Chains A and B, each alone.
Chain A
């Protein structure tokens, strides 16, 4: 019998239909992948299943019993735990306090039994072979990847029958992602159901037994994982034939140097980076995670202090803060890593997000011109194909891919022509990924210079004109033409590390 059966599930947010008549069924002991573009209704579906929101119509049966949750507690009581993409962790609590939050072992005085909590933490981490974590460390001291791992531990601590992993691998370095995939199989072997959401097709292929495809809030198809091709899946996800994910790479780089960086250093993570980015070029930045890529982008944008020389369009500049970076047509704009935290104001409208930082451009005689603003917003929304009801829709209610497009729009409106894109496709669906790559090529053709980091190596290989491989805070190699391949990037990234 199926562990979960969902029929006719519907959910509306105001005028927007998030789910309409969705169906789903999965049984114990399987890894069931949930696929769909951003905005297809996956997030709403798992939010309903995990008790974070309530559905409007339809039925959910868990172990044959009707299931309608009022809150995440009730979901946990029914054996459902979710590992959220938008993490449910508390910054000021320690790792172990987070893992056992609200389920702490207690003493007679009703206080937390710390010795017992530590013992249980270590037992849990050991049982599932977790990467090293310090149980007493406060969460806010942890990196994004480490937090993701804690979130997974927190989900497992409840010993759930159904575990939902929402984009859990997207924040993890390769080795940890690999561990998570193994863990997922282990959990299924223990007789649990794992509902697995990922935008990385290779992962889905590697571990899923079955997969369900969502599109526009409805269930489109259910497949046995080994009986369907990648192409079929992608076609069903986006509802049209996707010719190719990666646009044709037409070299548009000129000889003009847009950004020249010499002896660029920052703290212990960035030591003496040299490179030149040309007009019309997409320059990839690769290497293993944590070798200075983040610091390079942050420092170029003036968000982190750095030493060395920067020349923009042939002129030496000093960039000490983002305001200086964004100055005028000769500036630098950044698409940041954490779009929810750094890039977007979730409680502001699409219009406000687009124009807030460039409000000066819409003034006439010192007064704000709403018409001018509306025109430019419309132009940007059309150009980027942002799917929003109206420009007044709150950014927080958009799907991940559309939020990312708003950030692109915000960046383009600054008129800067050197663009720093830090992992712009993270957590973005396949269809939007394709659009973003297309957009990058179009911008390059228009003379923009683009520095592009991705944690997904094939993206660098297929989109960038050249790739800088970083190792230990410097550029270990610059790959061009035929030499841009995953194998070459890896070789350059790991040669020294392996010897060490």
Chain B
């Protein structure tokens, strides 16, 4: 029966080879929308303010956005895994207060503490991942709890904003190489990192687990290990964000970290990273971080109340979510 049919079967539904351009554009629609938004904001900003299209401005804006970019890089990894990390707020605060109380003028001592802060970031993150795996808890709840704990510890170490950061480290953020400051080089390094990360087994495994955990498990992935690495990296990047942040503030703050939790998610979402895991690219997140930072500049040059900044950020977030859902729908209809 089934056999005899086969002999005379007609054209199967397999599509002919070739590049599916429309599909590719649809897949990248949220990212393209983010690029358009950035272009639009830069255009408005440039028409209101002179000197926007200079190297100086690029250096300045990148420095302003770098803390968020570092935090959002970790968050992007977690989101691609299909989770969320709120504890980065606590880690950033903790990182700045340790730096502000331990860094000295002696570069070797400071370097040692930098390594300690970064290691702490990775370990605390990995601990988050372990809790999520072993206790089978929601990432939201686990990282909310660790955020609170880290915040408390930061308060104990340094109850109010203060401490000091050695001048040579503060100067790091404005150090130049070939006319570009260190934040711009860091930006390029982040993109390089992402390119490498995504092309390795580790990155692919994290993405796959975010896309479909069950399938990944059936393919032999250790979910516990994935969670360890994912949240560990997120903690590591949060610690990195803290180290960069102190070059901007010159002091430690036990409360500053919370300002980066939701923006790190927002930057990723604006850049087209899916909250359901499996999809997203760091380039999008970095553009999202630029969008959120430049909105601040725009509000400033428009001479309106700075309270309009969160309003504008919210509207942009809504627009990008809308763009991704429209694209997603169009893509799904194509499959049918």
Contacts and interface: CB of A to CB of B under 8 A. Distances in A.
Contact of A104 (B1, B6, B17, B204): B204
B161 interface: no
A129 interface: no
B27 interface: yes
B219 A72 contact: yes
A342 interface: no
A84 B218 contact: yes
Interface string B126-150: 0000000000000000000000000
A178 B205 contact: no
Contacts of B196: 109, 111
B279 interface: yes
A90 interface: yes
A101 B219 contact: yes
B8 A498 contact: yes
B217 interface: yes
A104 B201 contact: yes
A109 B193 CA distance: 12
Contacts of A423: none
B2 A202 contact: yes
Interface in A80-113: 84, 86-93, 97, 101-102, 104, 106, 109-112
Interface residues of B, number: 47
B2 A174 contact: yes
A101 B204 contact: yes
Interface in B184-220: 196, 199-201, 204-205, 207-208, 210-212, 214-220
Point out which of B2, B219, B331 has the most chain A C-beta atoms below 10 A from its C-beta. Answer: B2
A254 interface: no
Contacts of A73: 220
A88 B9 contact: no
B303 interface: no
Contacts, number: 146
Interface string B1-34: 1110111111111111111100100010000000
Point out which of B3, B196, B222, B334 has the most chain A C-beta atoms below 10 A from its C-beta. Answer: B3
B54 interface: no
B5 A110 contact: no
Interface string A238-277: 0000000000000000000000000000010100000000
Contacts of B208: 90, 92-93, 101
Contacts of B201: 102, 104, 106, 110, 112
B278 A133 contact: no
The bracket for how many chain A residues form the interface is: 35 or more
B17 A92 contact: no
A176 B5 CA distance: 11
A190 B235 CA distance: 50
Interface stretch (A21-29, A138-146, A324-332, A398-406): A138-146
A88 B215 contact: yes
Contact of A72 (B210, B217, B334): B217
Contact of A458 (B1, B199, B210): B1
Contacts of A86: 214, 218
B218 A88 contact: yes
A81 to B, nearest CB: 10
Given A90-B278, A111-B196, A146-B14, A102 B221 contact: yes
Nearest to A139: B211
A497 interface: yes
A124 interface: no
Contact of B1 (A111, A290, A295, A486): A486
Interface of B: 1-3, 5-20, 23, 27, 196, 199-201, 204-205, 207-208, 210-212, 214-222, 278-279, 331, 334-336
Given A93-B208, A177-B2, 4 more contacts: A141-B334, A143-B335, A145-B13, A178-B6
Question: 6 nearest interchain CB pairs?
Answer: A178-B6, A111-B199, A88-B218, A175-B9, A73-B220, A92-B278
